[in-house]
Structure 1
Amino acid sequence: MNKIIAFFALTLLVGCNTENVDTTPTNPTEEAMYFPPNDGNVVWETKSLSSLGWHSNAVQPLVDYLTLKNTKSFMILVNGRIVMEYYLNGHTATTPWYWASAGKTLTATVTGIAQDEGIININNKVSTYLGTGWTSAPLAKENMITCKHLLTMTSGLDDSLGDDVSPANLQYKADAGTRWAYHNVYVKLQDVIAQASGQTWTTYFNNKLRDKIGMTGGAWIQQDGLSVYWSTTRNMARFGLLALNKGKWNNTTVVSEIYFTDATNTSQNINLAYGYLWWLNGKTSFHLPQSQFEFPGTLIPNAPSDMYAALGKNDQKIYVVPSKKMVVIRMGDAADSVNMALSDFDNVLWQKINALYQ
C-alpha cells in the first residue's frame, strides 16, 4: 500500500474543538512568510486547504495522477507552510532521491554566493580560474567562454558528445554566446569555485548553502561520471523556499537578491525561457535540450506565467510561483518515458494543481 502523508491542518487535529476556528480563506500574499527551523527539528508548520479556500475534492484526482505517473514524493508549500505532502510508491519522508539536472540550480546559486564574496566574477573567462586547456577548443575560442556562458548554456561547445566533460570531449562548435545548447559543461563552475575558494566544492557548498538553510543529510554523489545531488523531499523544498524568497532564508541573505533576480530572468537572447540554469515560464518562445529548434509559446501553458523551475531528468521538479507564494516539489521515476527535463507531464500536472484553487 502506498504510504501517504497529507497535511490538512484543521482536519488532522484529532480531538480538537474546531467550533470557533476561523476558516475564512487567507490571502497568501498578505500572510507572513514561514521558514522551518534549521536545528533538525521535524516540526514544520502546516496550512489547511480550507484556510486557503482550496477545493478538497480536487485532491484525490491529483494524488491518483501522481501515483499513476511513478511519483515518489510531492509537496506544496504556500508562504513556506506545508499544504500537501505525499509519499507514494514505496517512498518515505526519510529516503533520499536524486535531483538530476534540477540540481543545476544549486550550482547556479553557489556561483552567485562566490561572486557575492568576491572570489569570482561570472563575466571572467573560465580559464582565469582553471587555466588554459580545460577544453580542446582552439585557445582563442576557449578564451571567449566566460562563467556566465556556462550559467546560460551558451558556451558554444559541442553538446552532441555526451556527458563527459574531460578536455578531449569539450570541443568547439560555435563562438561562445552565439548558440544555446543544453550541456553538462556547466559542472565546470564547481571546479571554478573550488579553485577560487581553496576548498573542495562539497565543503564550500555545505558551508555556504546547505547548512545555512538546514538541508541536513543531502550529499553530492558521483553518478555516470557526474556529481549529482541527493536529498530528502523536504530538503529540496527548503531550497525551493530559498528560491521563492530570492536568496533570503528568514532574515539571512544567502545569495544576493540582485544575482538571484538575474538568475531567474532571461539570460540571453536565444532561449528566452532560460536564466542561470533555471527554466522560465511565460516567455514567447523556448528551446529544449538536444534541439536547436525554437518553439513558439510558453514553456508550460497551464502553469502560472511568473513561474521559474528547476527541472531534472525523469521528472524531478522544483516549481516556484512568486505570485502565489508557492513552491511545488515532485520527485520520482520518469512519468512516461525517460526525458531530459520537460514532458507533457508538466502541463497535465499543472492542470490538476490548478483545480485545487481555481
Structure 2
Amino acid sequence: MKVFKRIFILLLLIAIVYGGQYAWRALPILSGYGAKDICSCVFVAGRNPKDVIDNELNSVPLKYGTFTVNYTDSSATGSVFGLAKKKAVFRKGLGCTLIAEMSEEELRQQKMNLSPSKRINTDSIPWPQGDKLQDTINRKIDKAKLQAAIDHAFTETDTVRAKQRRTRAVVVLYDGQLVGEKYATGFDKNSKQIAWSMTKSITNALVGILVKQGKLKLEEPAPAEGWADDRKAVTLADLMHMSSGLKWEENYGGPSGATNMLFKKKDMGIYAAKEPLEFKPGEVFEYSSGTTNIISRIVRDKVGDENYYKFPYQELFNKIGMNSIVMEPDAGGTFVGSSYSFATARDFARFGLLYLNDGVWNGERILPEGWVKFSYTPPIGAKRGQYGAQWWANAGEPNNPTNRPYPDVPTDAYLAEGFEGQSIFIVPSKKLVVVRLGLTKTDFDLNKFISEVIVSLPQ
C-alpha cells in the first residue's frame, strides 16, 4: 500500500511540475493575446472595451483572463488570475504594440519617421479612389439573388454562439463597381477591422513593389540575417511560397513557434529566421507566419529605417485610396507582416481590386508585370494547388482540378484569408472581389457564399 501511495505522490508531483512549467509558458501568451487585441480594438478601431471583452475575449481560455484599458497612457493590460501580466501600448500612426523583451520606457522612446496622416473627405471622391458610389449598378446583375447571398452570410442558423457565423461586413465588387454591401449592428463602412493573416497578402504587395524597384529578386538567396549555413539555399521565392523548408509549428492551441513569436518576442522576423532547415528548400509547403515575418524583416532592411514607416503608405496605400489602414509593428519596430493590420471593409476591397486589375491602379502600374500571376500560381510543394505566394489559391491538383478547396468556385480564384473568417476573395474570370469580415469561431462556408454571389452575376 505504501508503494502505491509513493507512486501516486510521485505522479502528482510530476503533474504539478509539468503543469506549472506549461502554465509558465502558456499564460503569458493568453495575457499577451488579450492585451494586444483589446488595445488595437479600442485605440485603432474605436471600439468599446466592454464590447471587445464580451465578444473577442469571451471564449475559452480567454474568458479566464482579466483585460483592462488605460485611456490615460493609451495602453491595455492582460493577466490570468493576476499572473503573467502583459501590456500593449498604442502609438499614433503605429497602432498597438505588445511590450516584449524590453521595457515600456524603451518602447515609448522609439523614434519612427512616420507618414503624415491624411484627413480626406472621401464621400465626395468617386469610387474606387473615394466613397462616392454610382446611383445605379449593372442592370445584368440579379439584385435579388445578390442581396439574398449577402443576407445569407449574416443569417444565424445556430443558437450556440461558438457555432454562429457572426459576420460583421460584406462588400461585393463587380467589374470594379461596388454593387453590394452590408454591416452588422455596431459596424459600418468607416469601421476598422482586423485583417489577421490577410496581412500576409499585403506583405506580398510590399515585396512586389521592391521587386519592381529592383531592390529584391525572387530567385536570389533570401537576404535574411545569419543565413551563412545551409539556409543560404533558401530563395525569396521559397519564402513567398511558404516552401522555405524551415522548421515551424503554426499551432495556436498553446506554446509554439507561432505563439511565442507573436506574444513573447521583440523581433519576430529575427526570431523566426533562427529556425533550422527541416526540408529541402522549395519542395514542401508548410504554412508559417514566421516565414512572413522573415519577409517583413527583409523588406525593412531593404527599405531602410529612414523611409520604412512611410514606405507602405506612400508606395501602396495612399495610391489606391486605402486611407484607413494601420499596420502595426512588433516591439523591435518591424511591421508584423503576418498578422497585424486594420482597415475598413471597403479598403480591403480596394486592395483586392488592385490585384483584380493586375497590379494597375488608375493607369499606374504599382506591382510589376506578372506579379499577380506569380502570387496566385501554386509552387510544386502545394500539392492540392491551394497556395501561391502569400495568397491562397483554388487551382486544385495539377491532374485533378476538381480536388480543390472551393469546388463550386472557378479554379482561377484566389484569396487573402485570416483568422476568424476574414477574407478577400478574387475571381478574375467573374470580375469579382468579395470581402467578408467577422468573428467566426468555426469555419465559415466560403465555397457556398462565393458561389451564391457568382450566381447573381451576368453569366
Q: TM-score range by the shorter chain?
A: 0.7 to 0.9
Residue 121 of structure 1 aligns to a residue whose secondary structure is coil
Is residue 156–residue 178 contact of structure 1 (8 Å, CA) maintained in 2?
yes
Note the C-alpha offset of 1:262.
1.5
Aligned-pair identity in percent equals: 23
The amino acid across from 1:270 in the alignment is A
Shift in alpha-carbon separation, 1:121–1:146, aligned structure 2, 3 A: same
Note the C-alpha offset of 1:89.
3.6
The amino acid across from 2:349 in the alignment is A
* Aligned residue number for residue 12 of structure 1: none
Is residue 67–residue 89 contact of structure 1 (8 Å, CA) maintained in 2?
no
* Aligned residue number for residue 90 of structure 1: 186
1:216-243 Cα shifts (integer Å, max 9, x gaps): 0211125899451110111101101101
1:171 aligns with 2:276: yes
Given the two structures, how large is their TM-score scaled by the length of structure 2? Answer: 0.60
Name the CA distance, whole Å, in 2 between partners of 1:307 and 1:350: 10
1:289-323 Cα shifts (integer Å, max 9, x gaps): xxxxx997011012122211111111111111111
Note the C-alpha offset of 1:196.
1.3
Note the C-alpha offset of 1:169.
5.9
Match of 1:346 among 415, 434, 446: 446
Note the C-alpha offset of 1:260.
2.0
Is residue 194–residue 204 contact of structure 1 (8 Å, CA) maintained in 2?
no
**After the TM superposition, which residues 70-109 of structure 1 pair with which residues of structure 2 at under 5 Å, given as runs?**
70-109=166-205
Match of 2:348 among 236, 258, 263: 236
Is residue 67–residue 88 contact of structure 1 (8 Å, CA) maintained in 2?
no
Name the CA distance, whole Å, in 2 between partners of 1:43 and 1:238: 14
Match of 1:48 among 137, 153, 169: 137
**After the TM superposition, which residues 1-358 of structure 1 pair with which residues of structure 2 at under 5 Å, given as runs?**
36=127, 38=129, 41-45=130-134, 47-48=136-137, 51-57=139-145, 59-60=147-148, 62-68=150-156, 69-126=165-222, 128=223, 130-132=224-226, 139-160=228-249, 161-163=256-258, 164=261, 165=268, 166-167=271-272, 170-184=275-289, 185-199=291-305, 201-222=308-329, 226-227=336-337, 228-271=340-383, 272-284=385-397, 297-334=403-440, 336-337=441-442, 343=443, 345-357=445-457
Note the C-alpha offset of 1:59.
2.1
Name the CA distance, whole Å, in 1 between partners of 2:137 and 2:424: 21
Note the C-alpha offset of 1:118.
0.8
- Structure 2 residue ranges without an equivalent (≥5): 1-125, 157-164, 250-255, 262-267
Name the CA distance, whole Å, in 2 between partners of 1:269 and 1:192: 23
| Structure with more of its chain in helix, by fraction | 2
Residue 302 of structure 1 aligns to a residue whose secondary structure is coil
1:116-161 Cα shifts (integer Å, max 9, x gaps): 10111122222x3x4315xxxxx43221112111100011112214
Shift in alpha-carbon separation, 1:222–1:316, aligned structure 2, 3 A: same
Is residue 273–residue 285 contact of structure 1 (8 Å, CA) maintained in 2?
no
Shift in alpha-carbon separation, 1:86–1:117, aligned structure 2, 3 A: same
Is residue 71–residue 89 contact of structure 1 (8 Å, CA) maintained in 2?
no
Given the two structures, how large is their TM-score scaled by the length of structure 1? Answer: 0.76
Note the C-alpha offset of 1:249.
0.3
The amino acid across from 1:60 in the alignment is A
Is residue 401–residue 411 contact of structure 2 (8 Å, CA) maintained in 1?
no
The amino acid across from 2:231 in the alignment is E
Note the C-alpha offset of 1:253.
0.4
Name the CA distance, whole Å, in 1 between partners of 2:437 and 2:330: 17
Structure of greater relative contact order (alpha carbons < 8 Å, 6+ residues apart)? 1
Name the CA distance, whole Å, in 1 between partners of 2:221 and 2:185: 46
The amino acid across from 2:277 in the alignment is Y
Shift in alpha-carbon separation, 1:37–1:305, aligned structure 2, 3 A: closer
Is residue 263–residue 276 contact of structure 1 (8 Å, CA) maintained in 2?
yes
- Structure 1 residue ranges without an equivalent (≥5): 1-34, 134-138, 287-293, 338-342
RMSD, aligned CA: 2.7
Is residue 47–residue 81 contact of structure 1 (8 Å, CA) maintained in 2?
no
- Bigger drift between 232-241 and 344-353 goes to 344-353
Shift in alpha-carbon separation, 1:61–1:120, aligned structure 2, 3 A: closer
Residue 328 of structure 2 aligns to a residue whose secondary structure is strand
Note the C-alpha offset of 1:270.
3.4
Name the CA distance, whole Å, in 1 between partners of 2:218 and 2:432: 29
Note the C-alpha offset of 1:254.
0.4
The amino acid across from 2:181 in the alignment is E
The amino acid across from 1:249 in the alignment is W
Shift in alpha-carbon separation, 1:143–1:330, aligned structure 2, 3 A: same
Is residue 284–residue 297 contact of structure 1 (8 Å, CA) maintained in 2?
yes
Is residue 46–residue 83 contact of structure 1 (8 Å, CA) maintained in 2?
no
Note the C-alpha offset of 1:347.
1.7
Is residue 55–residue 356 contact of structure 1 (8 Å, CA) maintained in 2?
yes
Note the C-alpha offset of 1:195.
1.1
